[in-house]
Amino acid sequence: MTELLISRMQFGVSIGIHYLFPITTLGLTLFIVIFETLYLAKREDQCRAISTFLVKLLSLIFVAGVATGLLMPFSFGANWARFSTYAGAVLGAIISVEAITAFALESVFIAILLFGREKVSPRVYWISAVLVFVGAHLSGFWIVAANSWLQTPAGYVIAGGRVELANLSQAIFNHSTLIRFAHVVTAAWLVGALLTAGIAAFYLARARHEAFAKRLLSMALPIALVAALAQPVLGHFHIMEVLENNPEKDAAYEGIFKSVNGAPLLLFGIPDAENQVIHFAVGAPYVLSLLESGELMGHVKGLEEYPPESWPPVNVIFTTFHLMIMLGVVMIGVAALGVFLMWRKKLYTVRWYLMLLPWLIPLPYFANELGWIGAEIGRQPWIIYGVMRTSVASTITLPLWQLTLSFVGILLVYTAIAVLTFVSVKKLVQKGP
Amino acid sequence: MDIQFYQNGVFLLIILFFYLFSVLDGFDFGIGMMLPFAKGKEDSGRLVSHIAPFWDGNEVWLVIGAGFIVGAFPAVMGLVLGNLYLPFLLLIVGLILRAMALEYSYHDLARQRFWHLVAACGSYLVTILGLFFVGTIVQGMPFEGKGVLSTRPGDYISTFPILFSMAGLMVVIWHGMTYALNQDPVESRQKGAAKFWWVLVGSILVLLVAWILCLPQTMGRPLSMAGAGFCLAGVIGGRWSLSRKGWPFRFSCLIITGLWMLIGTSLYPLVLPAYHHPEWSLAIASAAAPLSTLKLLFVLGWVLVPIIIAYSYFMYRVFRKGN
């Protein structure tokens, strides 16, 4: 059991740290494409300066993403041999599609962005920026598709004691892929928007690079608002999908132990799975029933309807889910205030707001991580929902001492990469464009 | 088309991916390993500038290869990496060090020397361990039953993988040297390569002799004879063309082509041979995924590989005069 726990911790730590970089890449490439397009269309030098600066940030982020991501495809074999032997025919196929259609595209064309400004025409440079954007997002799509297949497996049959791909498009576009991809991509854009807004505000508050920063901030805040407002809408459709396909996970998210008519939407609470109760619960009465069934007194199934051995760890996922939502509300407020100030033409004079923005850069990162912790812990005890349990997925030949050593090593190396990247990005921002 | 066609076609694709990885990222590792011996800061900076736009795209072939192995031969990666777990992690650490250090060597100029040394350490780790893995698989794994490998670390240390790793290391360094010569044909580099050529000769001879002695069964096949011939021709051609721009690198590619022909024919029709106990070997036919996955990977690979090569070629054209 300890061996399994260490393999899970290693996967969680490595993918949790890795994830910080690809979402930043998605967010930054969005802004790079926007400013390159403006530059190509209007030849505005300010746009080119902004894009050049963002490309410098991207180069630090991208390499950290590559470095921390190399372990992932191999770790399916190394730490999860029984899982990859059982499900490789589907999972390996999807990660192969990812590498060959998306990762190759972004890795090759990013060289033009980093080193090719003077070597190619503005048009080819723009095309390269678009291809890196497309490659990065396509890569995200395949990874979300692979993960969604674990949440809501489809398009497979079980034959000869293992999974066999029966229908590729059903496997890729399984019940949760599209909605989860939309949720993840807009969340990544929110990361990019609040990151660039924070950087621009940092300059404005210190009266540095003002023209540059105003142009960037006036682009970032509206995008932040749209992306932040999209989250509750997409989140709602996602949770409806979870309700349909992983009902016990949904009950745990919402903290409903007993089946009830007219369930409240809990906004806050301290979950206590052992006693099947949410302490200090604060909720909006009837709203959960209304959201899930369209009727105030609609029936909501509680966890009691499912055998306890198939419950996900309720305390963890109730908490992460609600923290994510709270952060989402804060980010909507922050972005809305910014857009309001922009509309009233007061944005650049409200100093406290400009001073605050850089400190909010971590918020979307936390929200992203919390969302994924909820999604992945919420899938437990399954590694493939309803098909394979996590407890029978790990490699059996790995001794405890090797796993411990590798976990500590990975933890140290990944933390070092995260710290180095953070410090270097901070230095680059302080130095200025 | 029957299932065997797709099994072999995907096996060939995986060999092709690792071959492309060796030829392309091989010169990046070779350059990385030359860094500690560069003459001063300017020289090492020039060496890194030769590979800066390319190494990331070249590394993709490794990731594609890994994905295809999980998809096409689902049990193989678990057997190999689950039993050589710590060397595998060390290899990953090497890849991580190389990637981070190359980026920071042109970002953090104040500590450039330090980052060059880290990039070199990473390159040595990956090359030595990666070749050790290939050598181990080619020779055969210490199976103790059907699908069961020995858990004693001592069983994984034997002559052929060690010789393969050491000789291959020299080939990779030579590959980097000829690539640098291609970019920057100065006399000092030519002189250095002329001296190192003798190491290359020794390494290839040791490797071929070890192959004949340790794995005699593979040498009778026409493809492996051709592979050995390519190796020798590449070595001789490299020396002969040393002062002609571009040619030593092409001959170096020929050596690596020959080596992968030898590797491929040594393995086929197995995917994981068993050392001492051929009856426990894992054959392509028995380890392969079901037909639906193989068909997908087959089409995906053979359609997209030419496209990736085409746009990578465009990239090499853009940066052909360094950056």
| Sign for the pseudo-dihedral over CA of A402, A403, A406, A412 | negative
User: What is the residue-averaged pLDDT of chain A?
Assistant: 93
Contact B86 A162 (CB under 8 A): no
Task: Taking residues B192-196, report their average pLDDT.
Answer: 92
User: A109, A135 in Cβ contact below 8 A?
Assistant: yes
Got the DSSP string for A193-234?
A: HHHHHHHHHHHHHTT-SHHHHHHHHHHHHHHHHHHHHHHHHH
User: What pLDDT score was predicted for residue A383?
Assistant: 94
End-to-end CA distance of chain B, in Å?
47
User: What pLDDT score was predicted for residue A147?
Assistant: 96
Instruction: Tell me the domain boundaries of chain B.
Output: 3-318
| Sign for the pseudo-dihedral over CA of B70, B75, B81, B85 | positive
Task: Taking residues A5-18, report their average pLDDT.
Answer: 95
User: B57, A106 in Cβ contact below 8 A?
Assistant: no
User: What is the residue-averaged pLDDT of chain B?
Assistant: 92
User: B95, A71 in Cβ contact below 8 A?
Assistant: no
Q: Predicted confidence band at A173 (pLDDT cuts at 50, 70, 90)?
A: very high
Q: Predicted confidence band at B277 (pLDDT cuts at 50, 70, 90)?
A: confident
Q: Give percent above pLDDT 90 in chain A.
A: 76
User: What pLDDT score was predicted for residue A287?
Assistant: 83
Spatial neighbors of A13 by CB under 8 A, at least 6 apart, are A407, A410, A411, A414
Task: Taking residues A144-165, report their average pLDDT.
Answer: 94
Q: Is the peptide bond before A313 cis (omega within 30 degrees of 0)?
A: no
User: B35, B47 in Cβ contact below 8 A?
Assistant: yes
User: What pLDDT score was predicted for residue B122?
Assistant: 96
Q: How far apart are CA A371 and CA A332, in angstroms?
A: 17
Contact A66 B99 (CB under 8 A): yes
- pLDDT at position A102 over 70: yes
To the nearest whole angstrom, how far is the Cα of A427 from the nearest Cα of chain B? Answer: 11
Q: Tell me whether A130 touches chain B (CB under 8 Å).
A: no
Q: How far apart are CA A61 and CA B203, in angstroms?
A: 40
Strand partners, A384: A388
Q: What is the pLDDT of residues B114-144, one digit of tens each?
A: 999 999 999 999 999 999 999 999 999 999 8
Q: Tell me whether A408 touches chain B (CB under 8 Å).
A: no
Q: Which tokens belong to A143?
A: 């990874």
Question: What H or E segment, with its residue span, contains residue A165?
Answer: strand A162-165
DSSP category for residue B274: B
Residues of chain B neighbouring A412 (CB-CB closer than 8 A): none
To the nearest whole angstrom, how far is the Cα of B173 from the nearest Cα of chain A? Answer: 23
Q: Tell me whether B185 touches chain A (CB under 8 Å).
A: no
Amino acid identity of A22? Answer: P
- Give the count of alpha carbons within 13 A of B179, CB side only: 30
- C-alpha pair distances (Å), B37 with each of A73, A215, A314, B47, B111: 34, 47, 58, 11, 17
Q: Tell me whether B67 touches chain A (CB under 8 Å).
A: yes
Ramachandran angles phi, psi of A361, nearest 5°: -55, -40
User: What pLDDT score was predicted for residue A301?
Assistant: 87
Q: What is the 3-state secondary structure (H, E, C) of A342-408?
A: HHCCCCCCCHHHHHHHHHHCHHHHHHHHHHHHHHHHCCCCEEECCCEEHHHCCCCCCCHHHHHHHHH
Q: What is the pLDDT of residues A332-375, one digit of tens each?
A: 999 999 999 999 998 898 999 999 999 999 999 999 999 999 99
Global pTM?
0.93
Contact B70 A402 (CB under 8 A): no
| Closest residue to A99, CB basis, from B64, B102, B318 | B64
To the nearest whole angstrom, how far is the Cα of B225 from the nearest Cα of chain A? Answer: 32
Q: What is the pLDDT of residues A231-279, one digit of tens each?
A: 999 999 999 999 889 989 988 888 888 888 888 888 888 888 888 888 8
Strand partners, A282: A268
Contact A108 B308 (CB under 8 A): yes
Q: Predicted confidence band at B200 (pLDDT cuts at 50, 70, 90)?
A: very high
Spatial neighbors of A16 by CB under 8 A, at least 6 apart, are A369, A372, A373
Q: Give percent above pLDDT 70 in chain A.
A: 100
Amino acid identity of B12? Answer: L
- C-alpha pair distances (Å), B319 with each of A66, A116, A125: 22, 8, 14
Q: Tell me whether A341 touches chain B (CB under 8 Å).
A: no
Q: Tell me whether A43 touches chain B (CB under 8 Å).
A: no
Report the alpha-carbon angle A389-A21-A205, nearest 5: 140
Strand partners, A165: A156
Q: How far apart are CA B127 and CA A38, in angstroms?
A: 44
By DSSP bridging, strand A277-284 and strand A299-300 are unpaired
Task: Taking residues B283-300, report their average pLDDT.
Answer: 92
- pLDDT at position B321 over 70: no
Query: Which of B48, B92, B302 is the mutation pick for testing A, counting most A CBs within 10 A?
Result: B92
Task: Taking residues B284-305, report their average pLDDT.
Answer: 93
Q: Predicted confidence band at B322 (pLDDT cuts at 50, 70, 90)?
A: low
Q: How far apart are CA A361 and CA A367, in angstroms?
A: 11
User: What pLDDT score was predicted for residue B221?
Assistant: 86
User: What pLDDT score was predicted for residue A162?
Assistant: 92
Q: How far apart are CA A43 and CA A22, in angstroms?
A: 30
Interface of A with B in 236-265 (CB under 8 A): none
Spatial neighbors of B213 by CB under 8 A, at least 6 apart, are none
Q: What is the pLDDT of residues A185-216, one digit of tens each?
A: 999 999 999 999 999 999 999 999 999 999 99
- pLDDT at position B196 over 70: yes
User: What pLDDT score was predicted for residue A48?
Assistant: 93
User: B66, B76 in Cβ contact below 8 A?
Assistant: no
- pLDDT at position B1 over 70: no
Q: How far apart are CA A49 and CA A16, in angstroms?
A: 32
Residues of chain A neighbouring B289 (CB-CB closer than 8 A): 88-89, 92-93
- Give the count of alpha carbons within 13 A of A390, CB side only: 22
Q: Is A40 helix (H, G, I), strand (E, B) or coil?
A: helix
Q: How far apart are CA A93 and CA B70, in angstroms?
A: 8
Instruction: Tell me the domain boundaries of chain A.
Output: 2-259+301-431
Residues of chain A neighbouring B297 (CB-CB closer than 8 A): 93, 96
What is the crossing angle of helices B85-107 and A45-69, to 10°?
160
To the nearest whole angstrom, how far is the Cα of A397 from the nearest Cα of chain B? Answer: 6
User: B89, B284 in Cβ contact below 8 A?
Assistant: no
| Cβ-based burial of B191 (10 A; exposed 0-12, middle 13-18, buried ≥19) | exposed
Query: Which of B20, B24, B48, B77 is the mutation pick for testing A, counting most A CBs within 10 A?
Result: B77
- Rg over alpha carbons for chain A, rounded to the nearest Å, is 23
User: What pLDDT score was predicted for residue A413?
Assistant: 97
Contact B85 A398 (CB under 8 A): yes
Q: What is the pLDDT of residues A291-343, one digit of tens each?
A: 888 888 888 888 888 998 889 999 999 999 999 999 999 999 999 999 999 99
Contact A115 B323 (CB under 8 A): yes
By DSSP bridging, strand A299-300 and strand A382-384 are unpaired
Considering only A131-135, A332-336, B107-111, which range has the smallest mean pLDDT? B107-111
Q: How far apart are CA B274 and CA A78, in angstroms?
A: 19
Q: Which fold has domain B3-318?
A: Formate dehydrogenase/DMSO reductase fold (1.20.1630)
How many residues does the structure list for chain A? Answer: 433
Contact B96 A398 (CB under 8 A): no
Q: Tell me whether A402 touches chain B (CB under 8 Å).
A: yes
Q: How far apart are CA A349 and CA A338, in angstroms?
A: 12
Considering only A130-139, A232-241, B82-91, B142-151, which range has the smallest mean pLDDT? B142-151
User: B294, B71 in Cβ contact below 8 A?
Assistant: no
The structure tokens 């004079």 sit at: A349
Q: Tell me whether B293 touches chain A (CB under 8 Å).
A: yes
Contact B319 A111 (CB under 8 A): yes
Considering only A129-143, B58-72, B214-228, B242-256, which range has the smallest mean pLDDT? B214-228
The ipTM of this complex is 0.92
DSSP category for residue A159: E
Nearest-Cα residue of chain B relative to residue A84:
B74
